[in-house]
Amino acid sequence: MKQLFGAVSSLSRRALMVSASAAVIATMTGMVAQAEGLGTPDKPVEVRMIANEAFANQWQTLMVPEFNKHYPNVKVTIDGVPYVELLAKSMLDATGPSPTYDIIIADDPWVPQLASVGALLDLRSEEVKGWTSEDFDWDDFNVAPLAASEWDGVQYGVPVRSNMLMMFVNKSLYEKAGVPVPTPKLTWNEFLEQAPKLVQDTNGDGKVDAWAIDTYFVREPLTPTIWQTIMNSNGGSLLDENGKPAFNNEIGVAALETHKKLLEFAPTGAISHGFSESLQAFRQGMVATHINWGSVFKGSAIDAATTTLTPEQVGIQVLPMGSKSAGAHRGIWSGAVSAKSENPEAAWAVLQWLSSKEGEKWHSANLGVFPARKSTLAAEPSEPWLVPVFDALQQAYDAAGEGKMWRIRHPRSDAAQQVLADEHSRFIAGQVSAEEALNVAAEKIEKILK
Protein backbone atom coordinates (compact mmCIF):
# COMPACT_ATOMS: atom_id res chain seq x y z
CA MET A 1 0.00 0.00 0.00
CA LYS A 2 2.75 2.41 0.94
CA GLN A 3 4.47 1.71 -2.34
CA LEU A 4 1.30 2.52 -4.12
CA PHE A 5 0.87 5.85 -2.40
CA GLY A 6 4.45 6.65 -3.19
CA ALA A 7 3.76 6.03 -6.84
CA VAL A 8 0.53 7.98 -6.79
CA SER A 9 2.15 11.02 -5.24
CA SER A 10 4.70 11.12 -8.03
CA LEU A 11 2.04 11.21 -10.70
CA SER A 12 1.40 14.05 -13.02
CA ARG A 13 -1.05 16.43 -11.44
CA ARG A 14 -3.66 15.88 -14.10
CA ALA A 15 -3.77 12.13 -13.64
CA LEU A 16 -4.04 12.59 -9.91
CA MET A 17 -6.92 15.00 -10.20
CA VAL A 18 -8.82 12.81 -12.61
CA SER A 19 -8.50 9.69 -10.52
CA ALA A 20 -9.17 11.50 -7.27
CA SER A 21 -12.27 13.20 -8.58
CA ALA A 22 -13.43 9.96 -10.14
CA ALA A 23 -13.08 8.26 -6.80
CA VAL A 24 -14.97 10.95 -4.96
CA ILE A 25 -17.80 11.01 -7.44
CA ALA A 26 -17.89 7.23 -7.57
CA THR A 27 -18.52 6.93 -3.87
CA MET A 28 -20.82 9.93 -3.57
CA THR A 29 -23.13 9.84 -6.52
CA GLY A 30 -23.07 6.27 -7.76
CA MET A 31 -24.86 6.11 -11.08
CA VAL A 32 -23.73 9.44 -12.51
CA ALA A 33 -20.11 8.70 -11.81
CA GLN A 34 -20.37 5.32 -13.40
CA ALA A 35 -21.66 6.90 -16.56
CA GLU A 36 -18.74 9.34 -16.60
CA GLY A 37 -16.02 6.84 -15.76
CA LEU A 38 -17.34 4.43 -18.34
CA GLY A 39 -18.05 7.09 -20.94
CA THR A 40 -21.22 8.32 -22.56
CA PRO A 41 -22.33 7.96 -26.18
CA ASP A 42 -21.14 11.54 -26.76
CA LYS A 43 -17.94 11.20 -24.83
CA PRO A 44 -16.65 7.64 -25.04
CA VAL A 45 -13.73 6.69 -22.82
CA GLU A 46 -10.62 5.38 -24.48
CA VAL A 47 -8.43 2.73 -22.88
CA ARG A 48 -5.27 1.23 -24.31
CA MET A 49 -3.91 -2.19 -23.53
CA ILE A 50 -0.46 -3.68 -24.00
CA ALA A 51 -0.52 -7.43 -24.58
CA ASN A 52 1.32 -10.36 -26.06
CA GLU A 53 1.33 -10.09 -29.87
CA ALA A 54 0.32 -13.76 -29.94
CA PHE A 55 -3.24 -12.90 -28.89
CA ALA A 56 -3.52 -9.11 -29.19
CA ASN A 57 -4.95 -9.22 -32.69
CA GLN A 58 -7.47 -11.93 -31.80
CA TRP A 59 -8.63 -9.96 -28.79
CA GLN A 60 -8.93 -6.74 -30.75
CA THR A 61 -11.06 -8.29 -33.47
CA LEU A 62 -13.17 -10.72 -31.41
CA MET A 63 -13.05 -9.95 -27.72
CA VAL A 64 -13.40 -6.17 -27.85
CA PRO A 65 -16.63 -6.18 -29.92
CA GLU A 66 -18.13 -8.68 -27.47
CA PHE A 67 -17.09 -6.49 -24.55
CA ASN A 68 -18.61 -3.46 -26.27
CA LYS A 69 -22.00 -5.16 -26.31
CA HIS A 70 -21.97 -4.64 -22.55
CA TYR A 71 -19.98 -1.42 -22.34
CA PRO A 72 -20.60 0.43 -25.59
CA ASN A 73 -18.86 3.62 -24.54
CA VAL A 74 -15.46 2.20 -23.68
CA LYS A 75 -13.20 2.17 -26.68
CA VAL A 76 -10.44 -0.43 -26.30
CA THR A 77 -7.24 -0.36 -28.36
CA ILE A 78 -4.86 -3.29 -27.97
CA ASP A 79 -1.19 -3.10 -28.97
CA GLY A 80 0.65 -6.37 -29.38
CA VAL A 81 4.31 -6.75 -28.45
CA PRO A 82 6.33 -9.93 -29.12
CA TYR A 83 6.47 -12.05 -25.98
CA VAL A 84 10.17 -11.75 -25.20
CA GLU A 85 10.14 -7.96 -25.26
CA LEU A 86 6.78 -7.48 -23.60
CA LEU A 87 7.98 -7.16 -20.00
CA ALA A 88 10.70 -4.62 -20.80
CA LYS A 89 8.31 -2.63 -22.97
CA SER A 90 5.61 -2.66 -20.28
CA MET A 91 8.12 -1.53 -17.66
CA LEU A 92 9.42 1.27 -19.87
CA ASP A 93 5.93 2.53 -20.50
CA ALA A 94 4.46 2.08 -17.05
CA THR A 95 7.28 3.93 -15.30
CA GLY A 96 6.83 7.08 -17.36
CA PRO A 97 5.04 10.15 -16.00
CA SER A 98 1.96 9.57 -18.14
CA PRO A 99 1.94 6.02 -19.50
CA THR A 100 0.35 5.14 -22.83
CA TYR A 101 -1.28 2.00 -21.50
CA ASP A 102 -4.15 1.72 -19.04
CA ILE A 103 -4.14 -2.07 -19.01
CA ILE A 104 -1.08 -4.28 -18.76
CA ILE A 105 -1.29 -7.97 -19.56
CA ALA A 106 1.47 -9.66 -17.56
CA ASP A 107 2.86 -13.18 -17.72
CA ASP A 108 3.03 -15.33 -14.61
CA PRO A 109 6.27 -14.09 -12.97
CA TRP A 110 5.92 -10.43 -13.95
CA VAL A 111 3.44 -9.01 -11.44
CA PRO A 112 6.00 -8.64 -8.62
CA GLN A 113 8.33 -6.81 -11.00
CA LEU A 114 5.64 -4.42 -12.19
CA ALA A 115 4.12 -3.98 -8.74
CA SER A 116 7.44 -3.23 -7.06
CA VAL A 117 7.93 -0.14 -9.23
CA GLY A 118 4.47 1.09 -8.33
CA ALA A 119 3.06 0.51 -11.79
CA LEU A 120 -0.11 -1.37 -10.81
CA LEU A 121 -3.38 -0.53 -9.13
CA ASP A 122 -4.58 -2.48 -6.07
CA LEU A 123 -7.76 -4.08 -7.40
CA ARG A 124 -9.25 -4.72 -3.97
CA SER A 125 -8.75 -1.23 -2.62
CA GLU A 126 -11.74 0.81 -1.46
CA GLU A 127 -11.57 2.93 -4.58
CA VAL A 128 -11.73 0.00 -6.98
CA LYS A 129 -14.38 -1.73 -4.85
CA GLY A 130 -16.72 1.08 -5.83
CA TRP A 131 -16.24 0.15 -9.48
CA THR A 132 -16.58 -3.58 -8.93
CA SER A 133 -19.86 -5.29 -9.62
CA GLU A 134 -21.43 -6.97 -6.59
CA ASP A 135 -21.64 -10.36 -8.22
CA PHE A 136 -17.96 -10.40 -9.19
CA ASP A 137 -16.99 -13.50 -7.24
CA TRP A 138 -13.36 -13.40 -6.15
CA ASP A 139 -13.62 -16.66 -4.23
CA ASP A 140 -14.69 -18.56 -7.31
CA PHE A 141 -11.18 -18.33 -8.82
CA ASN A 142 -8.91 -21.29 -8.35
CA VAL A 143 -6.21 -20.39 -5.85
CA ALA A 144 -3.25 -21.03 -8.12
CA PRO A 145 -4.23 -18.79 -11.04
CA LEU A 146 -5.40 -15.94 -8.83
CA ALA A 147 -2.15 -16.05 -6.87
CA ALA A 148 -0.25 -15.26 -10.07
CA SER A 149 -1.27 -11.62 -9.83
CA GLU A 150 -0.81 -11.24 -6.10
CA TRP A 151 2.28 -9.70 -4.59
CA ASP A 152 3.05 -8.77 -0.99
CA GLY A 153 -0.53 -9.41 0.05
CA VAL A 154 -2.03 -7.13 -2.59
CA GLN A 155 -4.17 -8.31 -5.51
CA TYR A 156 -2.93 -6.44 -8.58
CA GLY A 157 -4.64 -8.41 -11.30
CA VAL A 158 -7.08 -11.05 -12.42
CA PRO A 159 -6.35 -14.16 -14.49
CA VAL A 160 -7.40 -13.51 -18.09
CA ARG A 161 -5.67 -16.31 -19.99
CA SER A 162 -4.78 -19.31 -17.89
CA ASN A 163 -2.33 -21.91 -18.94
CA MET A 164 -0.53 -24.85 -17.41
CA LEU A 165 2.37 -27.04 -18.40
CA MET A 166 0.75 -30.35 -19.39
CA MET A 167 1.64 -33.70 -20.85
CA PHE A 168 0.21 -34.52 -24.26
CA VAL A 169 -0.03 -38.13 -25.35
CA ASN A 170 -0.11 -39.65 -28.83
CA LYS A 171 -2.20 -42.73 -28.07
CA SER A 172 -1.56 -44.37 -31.46
CA LEU A 173 2.18 -44.51 -30.84
CA TYR A 174 1.55 -46.04 -27.41
CA GLU A 175 -0.68 -48.69 -28.92
CA LYS A 176 1.81 -49.44 -31.67
CA ALA A 177 4.53 -49.95 -29.08
CA GLY A 178 2.26 -52.11 -26.96
CA VAL A 179 2.65 -49.84 -23.96
CA PRO A 180 -0.37 -48.92 -21.81
CA VAL A 181 -1.59 -45.39 -22.50
CA PRO A 182 -0.60 -43.07 -19.61
CA THR A 183 -3.00 -42.06 -16.89
CA PRO A 184 -2.53 -39.26 -14.34
CA LYS A 185 -1.15 -41.99 -12.07
CA LEU A 186 1.87 -42.58 -14.32
CA THR A 187 5.16 -42.01 -12.49
CA TRP A 188 8.44 -40.75 -13.89
CA ASN A 189 10.05 -44.11 -13.09
CA GLU A 190 7.40 -45.97 -15.05
CA PHE A 191 7.74 -43.55 -17.91
CA LEU A 192 11.50 -43.99 -18.10
CA GLU A 193 11.05 -47.76 -18.03
CA GLN A 194 8.60 -47.63 -20.93
CA ALA A 195 10.49 -45.01 -22.90
CA PRO A 196 12.90 -47.36 -24.74
CA LYS A 197 9.91 -49.22 -26.19
CA LEU A 198 8.41 -45.98 -27.42
CA VAL A 199 11.47 -45.29 -29.56
CA GLN A 200 10.33 -47.28 -32.54
CA ASP A 201 10.28 -47.83 -36.26
CA THR A 202 6.63 -47.46 -37.22
CA ASN A 203 6.82 -48.05 -40.97
CA GLY A 204 9.28 -50.95 -40.92
CA ASP A 205 11.99 -49.38 -43.08
CA GLY A 206 14.66 -50.14 -40.50
CA LYS A 207 15.00 -46.55 -39.37
CA VAL A 208 13.69 -45.18 -36.10
CA ASP A 209 10.95 -42.71 -36.89
CA ALA A 210 9.10 -42.24 -33.61
CA TRP A 211 10.41 -41.28 -30.21
CA ALA A 212 9.15 -41.32 -26.64
CA ILE A 213 9.13 -37.63 -25.80
CA ASP A 214 9.92 -34.11 -26.91
CA THR A 215 9.83 -30.91 -24.90
CA TYR A 216 12.00 -27.90 -24.00
CA PHE A 217 15.74 -28.61 -23.99
CA VAL A 218 17.10 -25.46 -25.63
CA ARG A 219 18.81 -22.57 -23.84
CA GLU A 220 15.86 -20.39 -22.95
CA PRO A 221 14.09 -19.16 -19.80
CA LEU A 222 11.16 -21.58 -20.03
CA THR A 223 13.30 -24.72 -20.30
CA PRO A 224 14.10 -24.93 -16.55
CA THR A 225 10.35 -25.13 -15.85
CA ILE A 226 10.45 -28.78 -16.97
CA TRP A 227 13.24 -29.55 -14.53
CA GLN A 228 11.48 -27.55 -11.84
CA THR A 229 8.25 -29.49 -12.32
CA ILE A 230 10.03 -32.82 -11.94
CA MET A 231 11.73 -31.47 -8.83
CA ASN A 232 8.48 -30.07 -7.41
CA SER A 233 6.64 -33.34 -7.89
CA ASN A 234 9.40 -35.03 -5.90
CA GLY A 235 8.89 -32.60 -3.05
CA GLY A 236 11.68 -30.18 -3.91
CA SER A 237 11.29 -26.45 -4.25
CA LEU A 238 13.16 -23.53 -5.81
CA LEU A 239 13.40 -21.40 -2.66
CA ASP A 240 13.08 -22.08 1.05
CA GLU A 241 10.80 -20.11 3.41
CA ASN A 242 13.45 -17.41 3.74
CA GLY A 243 13.58 -16.91 0.00
CA LYS A 244 17.01 -18.50 -0.36
CA PRO A 245 17.76 -20.99 -3.16
CA ALA A 246 16.94 -24.51 -2.04
CA PHE A 247 17.23 -26.40 -5.30
CA ASN A 248 20.90 -27.35 -5.17
CA ASN A 249 20.35 -30.63 -3.35
CA GLU A 250 19.79 -34.28 -4.20
CA ILE A 251 16.22 -33.78 -5.36
CA GLY A 252 17.25 -30.94 -7.64
CA VAL A 253 20.19 -32.86 -9.08
CA ALA A 254 18.10 -35.98 -9.66
CA ALA A 255 15.42 -33.94 -11.39
CA LEU A 256 17.99 -32.25 -13.62
CA GLU A 257 19.45 -35.62 -14.56
CA THR A 258 15.98 -36.93 -15.34
CA HIS A 259 15.37 -33.99 -17.66
CA LYS A 260 18.60 -34.74 -19.50
CA LYS A 261 17.83 -38.45 -19.60
CA LEU A 262 14.71 -37.64 -21.61
CA LEU A 263 17.03 -36.59 -24.44
CA GLU A 264 17.97 -40.25 -24.93
CA PHE A 265 14.38 -40.95 -25.95
CA ALA A 266 13.80 -37.73 -27.85
CA PRO A 267 14.18 -37.11 -31.61
CA THR A 268 17.64 -36.45 -33.04
CA GLY A 269 18.46 -32.79 -32.57
CA ALA A 270 15.99 -32.34 -29.70
CA ILE A 271 18.73 -30.67 -27.67
CA SER A 272 17.95 -27.50 -29.62
CA HIS A 273 14.19 -27.90 -29.36
CA GLY A 274 11.98 -25.47 -27.49
CA PHE A 275 8.32 -24.53 -27.54
CA SER A 276 7.76 -24.47 -31.31
CA GLU A 277 10.12 -27.26 -32.40
CA SER A 278 8.91 -29.85 -29.93
CA LEU A 279 5.35 -28.88 -30.72
CA GLN A 280 5.97 -29.54 -34.42
CA ALA A 281 7.46 -32.94 -33.62
CA PHE A 282 4.34 -33.88 -31.68
CA ARG A 283 1.95 -32.59 -34.33
CA GLN A 284 3.84 -34.57 -36.97
CA GLY A 285 3.22 -37.74 -34.95
CA MET A 286 6.90 -38.24 -34.25
CA VAL A 287 6.72 -38.42 -30.44
CA ALA A 288 4.55 -40.40 -28.07
CA THR A 289 4.50 -37.77 -25.34
CA HIS A 290 5.02 -34.06 -25.32
CA ILE A 291 5.32 -31.67 -22.42
CA ASN A 292 4.14 -28.20 -23.32
CA TRP A 293 1.63 -25.50 -22.45
CA GLY A 294 -1.97 -26.71 -22.40
CA SER A 295 -3.10 -23.99 -24.79
CA VAL A 296 -1.52 -25.84 -27.72
CA PHE A 297 -4.08 -28.63 -27.38
CA LYS A 298 -6.53 -27.24 -29.91
CA GLY A 299 -3.90 -26.76 -32.60
CA SER A 300 -2.48 -30.23 -31.90
CA ALA A 301 -5.65 -32.29 -31.78
CA ILE A 302 -8.50 -30.41 -33.43
CA ASP A 303 -7.30 -28.02 -36.10
CA ALA A 304 -6.50 -30.03 -39.25
CA ALA A 305 -4.58 -27.15 -40.80
CA THR A 306 -1.90 -27.33 -38.15
CA THR A 307 -1.79 -30.96 -37.04
CA THR A 308 -1.64 -34.42 -38.55
CA LEU A 309 -3.31 -35.92 -35.46
CA THR A 310 -6.99 -36.46 -34.73
CA PRO A 311 -8.90 -35.69 -31.50
CA GLU A 312 -9.17 -39.42 -30.67
CA GLN A 313 -5.39 -39.82 -30.88
CA VAL A 314 -4.45 -37.06 -28.49
CA GLY A 315 -4.59 -37.27 -24.72
CA ILE A 316 -3.91 -34.49 -22.24
CA GLN A 317 -3.03 -34.88 -18.57
CA VAL A 318 -0.82 -33.65 -15.77
CA LEU A 319 2.90 -34.43 -15.83
CA PRO A 320 3.98 -37.81 -14.39
CA MET A 321 4.00 -38.32 -10.64
CA GLY A 322 7.10 -37.94 -8.56
CA SER A 323 7.43 -39.29 -5.05
CA LYS A 324 5.06 -36.61 -3.79
CA SER A 325 2.51 -35.61 -6.40
CA ALA A 326 1.72 -35.18 -10.06
CA GLY A 327 3.43 -32.33 -11.85
CA ALA A 328 2.26 -29.10 -13.43
CA HIS A 329 3.64 -25.62 -13.83
CA ARG A 330 1.69 -22.43 -13.80
CA GLY A 331 1.64 -19.97 -16.69
CA ILE A 332 -1.13 -17.46 -16.10
CA TRP A 333 -1.58 -14.25 -18.03
CA SER A 334 -3.01 -11.69 -15.64
CA GLY A 335 -4.67 -8.43 -16.50
CA ALA A 336 -3.70 -5.42 -14.38
CA VAL A 337 -4.60 -1.74 -14.38
CA SER A 338 -1.86 0.86 -14.56
CA ALA A 339 -1.58 2.86 -11.35
CA LYS A 340 -1.28 6.03 -13.41
CA SER A 341 -4.16 5.35 -15.76
CA GLU A 342 -6.47 8.31 -16.34
CA ASN A 343 -9.38 5.97 -16.89
CA PRO A 344 -8.93 3.29 -14.26
CA GLU A 345 -12.63 2.59 -13.98
CA ALA A 346 -13.01 1.83 -17.67
CA ALA A 347 -9.78 -0.19 -17.67
CA TRP A 348 -11.03 -2.25 -14.74
CA ALA A 349 -14.37 -2.69 -16.50
CA VAL A 350 -12.59 -4.46 -19.38
CA LEU A 351 -10.70 -6.83 -17.10
CA GLN A 352 -13.65 -7.31 -14.81
CA TRP A 353 -15.87 -8.37 -17.68
CA LEU A 354 -13.22 -10.65 -19.20
CA SER A 355 -12.62 -12.47 -15.91
CA SER A 356 -16.24 -12.55 -14.79
CA LYS A 357 -18.19 -15.80 -14.93
CA GLU A 358 -19.94 -14.60 -18.05
CA GLY A 359 -16.82 -13.28 -19.77
CA GLU A 360 -14.80 -16.37 -19.00
CA LYS A 361 -17.52 -18.59 -20.39
CA TRP A 362 -17.59 -16.57 -23.62
CA HIS A 363 -13.80 -16.51 -23.78
CA SER A 364 -13.32 -20.25 -23.44
CA ALA A 365 -16.27 -21.16 -25.69
CA ASN A 366 -15.35 -18.80 -28.52
CA LEU A 367 -11.58 -18.44 -28.38
CA GLY A 368 -10.68 -21.71 -26.65
CA VAL A 369 -8.93 -19.85 -23.83
CA PHE A 370 -8.58 -21.73 -20.55
CA PRO A 371 -10.66 -20.44 -17.64
CA ALA A 372 -9.47 -19.89 -14.08
CA ARG A 373 -12.79 -20.07 -12.28
CA LYS A 374 -13.98 -23.21 -10.51
CA SER A 375 -17.52 -22.64 -11.74
CA THR A 376 -16.46 -22.42 -15.40
CA LEU A 377 -14.35 -25.55 -15.13
CA ALA A 378 -17.14 -27.46 -13.40
CA ALA A 379 -19.81 -26.47 -15.91
CA GLU A 380 -20.47 -28.36 -19.12
CA PRO A 381 -17.95 -27.04 -21.67
CA SER A 382 -19.31 -25.65 -24.92
CA GLU A 383 -17.24 -28.02 -27.04
CA PRO A 384 -16.90 -31.76 -26.42
CA TRP A 385 -13.10 -31.66 -26.86
CA LEU A 386 -12.85 -29.32 -23.89
CA VAL A 387 -14.12 -32.00 -21.47
CA PRO A 388 -10.83 -33.88 -20.96
CA VAL A 389 -8.95 -30.58 -21.14
CA PHE A 390 -10.96 -29.06 -18.29
CA ASP A 391 -10.50 -32.20 -16.21
CA ALA A 392 -6.75 -32.13 -16.69
CA LEU A 393 -6.65 -28.40 -16.06
CA GLN A 394 -8.44 -28.71 -12.72
CA GLN A 395 -5.96 -31.41 -11.65
CA ALA A 396 -3.08 -29.23 -12.77
CA TYR A 397 -4.36 -26.24 -10.78
CA ASP A 398 -4.65 -28.38 -7.68
CA ALA A 399 -1.19 -29.89 -8.10
CA ALA A 400 0.41 -26.52 -8.84
CA GLY A 401 -1.33 -24.86 -5.90
CA GLU A 402 -0.23 -27.57 -3.52
CA GLY A 403 3.38 -27.91 -4.67
CA LYS A 404 3.96 -24.20 -5.37
CA MET A 405 4.75 -25.07 -8.96
CA TRP A 406 5.55 -21.67 -10.37
CA ARG A 407 8.55 -19.55 -11.09
CA ILE A 408 10.25 -17.39 -8.46
CA ARG A 409 8.01 -14.60 -7.17
CA HIS A 410 10.30 -11.64 -6.74
CA PRO A 411 10.93 -8.21 -8.32
CA ARG A 412 13.97 -9.73 -10.03
CA SER A 413 12.49 -13.08 -10.96
CA ASP A 414 13.31 -12.83 -14.66
CA ALA A 415 16.99 -12.25 -13.92
CA ALA A 416 16.94 -15.37 -11.75
CA GLN A 417 15.13 -17.36 -14.43
CA GLN A 418 17.75 -16.37 -17.00
CA VAL A 419 20.49 -17.68 -14.70
CA LEU A 420 18.62 -20.96 -14.34
CA ALA A 421 18.34 -21.16 -18.13
CA ASP A 422 22.07 -20.58 -18.59
CA GLU A 423 23.18 -23.16 -16.03
CA HIS A 424 20.56 -25.66 -17.12
CA SER A 425 21.78 -25.37 -20.70
CA ARG A 426 25.41 -25.82 -19.70
CA PHE A 427 24.48 -29.08 -18.00
CA ILE A 428 22.34 -30.29 -20.91
CA ALA A 429 25.20 -29.52 -23.31
CA GLY A 430 27.50 -31.62 -21.12
CA GLN A 431 29.77 -28.75 -20.15
CA VAL A 432 29.32 -29.10 -16.37
CA SER A 433 27.94 -31.64 -13.91
CA ALA A 434 24.43 -31.30 -12.52
CA GLU A 435 25.80 -30.44 -9.08
CA GLU A 436 28.01 -27.70 -10.40
CA ALA A 437 25.30 -26.23 -12.59
CA LEU A 438 22.88 -26.02 -9.67
CA ASN A 439 25.49 -24.71 -7.23
CA VAL A 440 26.54 -21.95 -9.61
CA ALA A 441 22.90 -21.09 -10.27
CA ALA A 442 22.10 -21.03 -6.54
CA GLU A 443 25.02 -18.75 -5.82
CA LYS A 444 24.12 -16.32 -8.59
CA ILE A 445 20.43 -16.32 -7.75
CA GLU A 446 21.09 -15.68 -4.09
CA LYS A 447 22.99 -12.56 -5.10
CA ILE A 448 20.26 -11.44 -7.49
CA LEU A 449 17.44 -11.87 -4.96
CA LYS A 450 19.28 -10.02 -2.21
Shortest Cβ distance from residue 419 to another protein (Å)? 8
Q: For another protein, give the closer residue by CB, 157 or 322.
A: 157
- Neighbour count for residue 267 (Cβ, 10 Å): 22
29 binds another protein, rule: CB under 8 A: no
Stretch in the footprint of another protein (CB under 8 A) among 166-174, 294-302, 388-396, 398-406: 294-302
CB 442 within 8 A of CB 247: yes
x-or-dash string of contact with another protein, 386-425, rule CB under 8 A: --------------------------x-xx--x---x--x
Of the candidate residues 26, 49, 76, 81, the single one contacting another protein (CB under 8 A):
81
Q: For another protein, give the closer residue by CB, 31 or 305.
A: 305
Q: For another protein, give the closer residue by CB, 170 or 325.
A: 170
- Of 48, 45, 7, give the one whose Cα is nearest residue 340: 7
x-or-dash string of contact with another protein, 99-138, rule CB under 8 A: -x------------x--xxx--------------------
Shortest Cβ distance from residue 89 to another protein (Å)? 7
Number of residues that bind another protein (CB under 8 A): 71
Q: For another protein, give the closer residue by CB, 40 or 431.
A: 431
Please compute, for residue 378, the number of CA atoms within 13 A of its CA located in the half-sphere on the CB side.
7
Count, residues in the chain: 450
308 binds another protein, rule: CB under 8 A: yes
CA-CA distance, 314 to 211, in Å (whole number)? 16
Shortest Cβ distance from residue 301 to another protein (Å)? 12
Of the candidate residues 142, 155, 234, 307, the single one contacting another protein (CB under 8 A):
307
Q: What are phi and psi of 429, to 5 degrees?
A: -75, -5
Of the candidate residues 293, 324, 365, 449, the single one contacting another protein (CB under 8 A):
293
Shortest Cβ distance from residue 189 to another protein (Å)? 27
CA-CA distance, 278 to 216, in Å (whole number)? 7
Segment 182-211, which members bind another protein (CB under 8 A)?
A: 209
Shortest Cβ distance from residue 432 to another protein (Å)? 8
Of the candidate residues 43, 205, 430, 450, the single one contacting another protein (CB under 8 A):
430
Stretch in the footprint of another protein (CB under 8 A) among 30-38, 82-90, 342-350, 394-402: 82-90
- Of 335, 346, 343, give the one whose Cα is nearest residue 15: 343
Q: For another protein, give the closer residue by CB, 31 or 304.
A: 304
x-or-dash string of contact with another protein, 46-75, rule CB under 8 A: ----x-xxxx-x--xx--------------
Of the candidate residues 62, 91, 379, 449, the single one contacting another protein (CB under 8 A):
91
Segment 209-268, which members bind another protein (CB under 8 A)?
A: 209, 218-221, 267-268
Q: What is the dihedral of CA 420, 426, 430, 432, to 10 degrees?
A: -80
Q: For another protein, give the closer residue by CB, 365 or 415.
A: 415
Of the candidate residues 286, 326, 372, 441, the single one contacting another protein (CB under 8 A):
286
Shortest Cβ distance from residue 300 to another protein (Å)? 9
Shortest Cβ distance from residue 52 to another protein (Å)? 6
Q: For another protein, give the closer residue by CB, 105 or 321.
A: 105
Shortest Cβ distance from residue 353 to another protein (Å)? 21
Shortest Cβ distance from residue 286 to another protein (Å)? 7
Of the candidate residues 8, 34, 75, 89, the single one contacting another protein (CB under 8 A):
89
Of the candidate residues 30, 72, 82, 196, the single one contacting another protein (CB under 8 A):
82
